Amino acid sequence: MTAASEERVPAGAGGSSAAEMYALVERLYPLCRSITGDGVRATLDIVGEYLPLRVHEVPTGTQVLDWTIPQEWNIRDAYIADAAGRRVVDFRASSLHVLGYSVPVFARMPLSELRAHLHTLPEHPSWVPYRTSYYTPTWGFCLAQDTLDALPEGEYEVRIDSTLTDGHLTYAEHVVPGQVPEEVLVSCHVCHPSLANDNLAGIAVATYLARELAAREPYYTYRFVFAPGTVGAITWLARNRERVGKVEHGLVLACAGDPGQLTYKRSRRGDAEIDRVLRHVLSSSERPHRITEFTPYGYDERQYCSPGFDLGVGSLTRTPYAAYPEYHTSADDLDFVSPEAMADTLAVCREAFAVLDRNRRYVNLSPYGEPQLGRRGLYDSLGGRSDAKQAQMAMLWVLNLADGTHSLLDVAERAGLPFDAVADAADALHGAGLLKA
């Protein structure tokens, strides 16, 4: 299997901001993306201005697990023009107007014949649907029902200036080195055209999450995968079978910017550490949220959680897959997402990964009776703190459960204490020589 790759250097360091994430979504929104093609490359070029990316090109015809890399699709222009030459449907106005992976066509035909190739949403007559036909050669246009209703009978010129040729599937990785080689996988799809929530908000949150992690030197190594949905994730798994065992935890990011409450979908295992961490973070934050069970449908968590791999990978969205009316329509636009929603999604990822990075198991080195904390200065360190009682209880709980089998998250859940209080107590006890990792 061959692959080309390149390194791209980010424009500069710096923290994230809600406004900057939204600006990234604005930049990416006009591009026509699909599972292959120049739209994916242009998207990764832009992300590469924010993060160093290793870009992989996998040739058409390459076997990836039970799949085969398809031909590459690119499109330059497409339209339906009336008898006066006026474009009544125009790809230049929105990349949603063309059925994804449409074969080239240049013809004149009556509206009665053209209708078989037109896709609308009668229940939302002003919206344009997003439709694709990746593996069945055909062509089509997507338009508003209102536009179709206004078209008079007669002959129309139809053109789709596209190509389907042997080429490549493109995906990219960014790695944030950690203190240990074990990895946390963060994955988002890059194959949808002008849809702001599904998938651009996820790309923006992943990008700024990676920048934040790099600034704090995390415990785990974090691997970010930007790949086309389904076949892209399958390609990554096929090309990384020998090292996929390094993935300790994982998260698929999608639909990260809509106004709905946060939703976490558990991994196939149901009790993976990432599942427990997200449950703890969402519950303790008192954010409105939902936690749902795993199903083998949705985003690429179903590939990472397929039974042969069974990775501990969950999915974080706001409103989930297909659960909002705007999903896969032109109404999933720049007005549908907000900087505030993306910032909230980013904050939850930040909090969850902070818990992952600090979640350890310890052994109490003075397990026979309660050790004297005062002579070690541990009680003195709490003097004057508004949370002194909580900090004291955290120390006692950590000492009691530090038997090598309980993690700090176990302690926090059993004691009903914030994870940070428990982790801070463990740090203090470790520093005083009372705990061994």
Residues 247 and 286 in one domain: yes
Retrieve residue 105's tokens. Answer: 């066509």
Task: Tell me if 242 is assigned to some domain.
Answer: yes
**The CA-based dihedral angle spanning residues 14, 18, 19, 20, taken in that order and rounded to the nearest 10 degrees:** 40
pLDDT of residue 385: 59
Short-list 109, 84, 79, 71, CA closest to 95: 79
Residues 286 and 257 in one domain: yes
Residues 387 and 254 in one domain: no
Q: What angle do CA 137, 141, 146 make, to 5 degrees?
A: 155
Residue 382 scores a pLDDT above 70: no
Task: Tell me if 252 is assigned to some domain.
Answer: yes
Of 165, 200, 234, which closes a domain? 165
How far, in Å, CA of 414 to CA of 412, rounded? 6
Residues 40 and 161 in one domain: no
Task: Tell me if 5 is assigned to some domain.
Answer: no
Task: Tell me if 4 is assigned to some domain.
Answer: no
pLDDT of residue 14: 36
Residue 74 scores a pLDDT above 80: yes
| Domains held by the chain: number | 3
pLDDT digits (tens, 9 = 90+) for 202-251: 999 999 999 999 999 899 999 999 999 999 999 999 999 999 999 999 99
pLDDT of residue 375: 87
DSSP state string for 140-175: -EE--HHHHHTPPSSEEEEEEEEEEES-EEEEEEEE
Residue 67 scores a pLDDT above 90: yes
% the chain with pLDDT above 70: 95
Retrieve residue 7's tokens. Answer: 């390194």
pLDDT band at 384 (very low <50, low <70, confident <90, very high): low
pLDDT digits (tens, 9 = 90+) for 23-38: 999 999 999 999 999 9
Task: Tell me if 11 is assigned to some domain.
Answer: no
Task: Tell me if 393 is assigned to some domain.
Answer: yes
Query: Taking the mean position of all CA atoms in its chain, how far away is CA 295?
Result: 17
Of 130, 165, 200, which closes a domain? 165
Residues 267 and 386 in one domain: no
Task: Tell me if 6 is assigned to some domain.
Answer: no
Residues 134 and 222 in one domain: no
pLDDT of residue 386: 63
How far, in Å, CA of 194 to CA of 96, rounded? 7
pLDDT of residue 15: 40
Is the Cα dihedral 145, 149, 153, 158 positive or negative? negative
Residues 113 and 241 in one domain: no
Residues 221 and 237 in one domain: yes
pLDDT band at 381 (very low <50, low <70, confident <90, very high): low
What number of other Cβ atoms are within 10 A of residue 73's Cβ? 23
Of 112, 139, 165, which closes a domain? 165
Residue 119 scores a pLDDT above 70: yes
**CATH number of the CATH domain containing 405:** 1.10.10.10
List 109's β-bridge partners, or say none.
Answer: 156
pLDDT band at 13 (very low <50, low <70, confident <90, very high): very low
Q: Can you tell me the mean pLDDT for 341-354?
A: 97
% the chain with pLDDT above 90: 90
pLDDT digits (tens, 9 = 90+) for 252-275: 999 999 999 999 999 999 999 999
Residues 212 and 158 in one domain: no
Residues 289 and 177 in one domain: yes
Range of the domain at 159: 76-165
pLDDT digits (tens, 9 = 90+) for 391-406: 899 999 999 999 999 9
Short-list 306, 193, 230, 225, CA closest to 69: 230
Mean of pLDDT over the chain: 94
Retrieve residue 430's tokens. Answer: 């470790």
**CATH number of the CATH domain containing 217:** 3.40.630.10
pLDDT digits (tens, 9 = 90+) for 147-202: 999 999 999 999 999 999 999 999 999 999 999 999 999 999 999 999 999 999 99
Residues 108 and 239 in one domain: no
Within 5-141, residue ranges assigned H as helices are 18-28, 38-47, 111-114
Ranking 14-23, 138-147, 176-185, 281-290 by mean pLDDT, the lowest is: 14-23
pLDDT digits (tens, 9 = 90+) for 75-91: 999 999 999 999 999 99
pLDDT of residue 389: 87
pLDDT of residue 159: 98
Residue 4 scores a pLDDT above 90: no
Task: Tell me if 8 is assigned to some domain.
Answer: no
pLDDT of residue 19: 95
Instruction: Return the amino acid letter for 382.
Output: L
pLDDT of residue 235: 98
Short-list 49, 149, 163, 153, CA closest to 103: 163
Q: Can you tell me the mean pLDDT for 374-390?
A: 73
Is the Cα dihedral 406, 409, 412, 416 positive or negative? negative
Residues 368 and 405 in one domain: yes
pTM for this model (two decimals): 0.93
